[in-house]
Amino acid sequence: MPDGVEEIERLVRRYLAGREPLFDRRIEQGRVVDGHGDLLAEDIFCLDDGTRVLDCCWAARARTSRR
């Protein structure tokens, strides 16, 4: 395993564990989305008939499938 991977995994797990109440609340409120977390300002378009977000999330199947 490359240097630092175990430390990164430990820190990620600590971060997630500290937010369990937040995640539980979002689930109860139906505020869970399938997204990839890198929405950029350049992906948001303000058009005459309203705002549009164009952000390709083509890998949804890849994220949920097991290899």
pLDDT of residue 33: 74
pTM of the model: 0.42
Percent of the chain exceeding pLDDT 90 equals: 27
Tell me the angle at which helices 5-18 and 20-28 cross, rounded to the nearest 10 degrees.
50
32 contacts 26 by C-beta, under 8 angstroms: yes
Show me where the domains of the chain are located.
5-64
Cα 63 from Cα 34, distance rounded (Å): 10
Question: pLDDT confidence of 67, banded at 50, 70, 90?
Answer: very low
Mean pLDDT along residues 37-53: 85
DSSP lists the bridge partners of residue 50 as 47
Cβ-proximal residues to 65 (8 Å cutoff; 6+ apart), any chain? none
pLDDT tens readout for residues 21-43: 998 999 999 888 766 667 788 88
Q: For the chain, how big is the Rg over CA atoms in Å?
A: 17
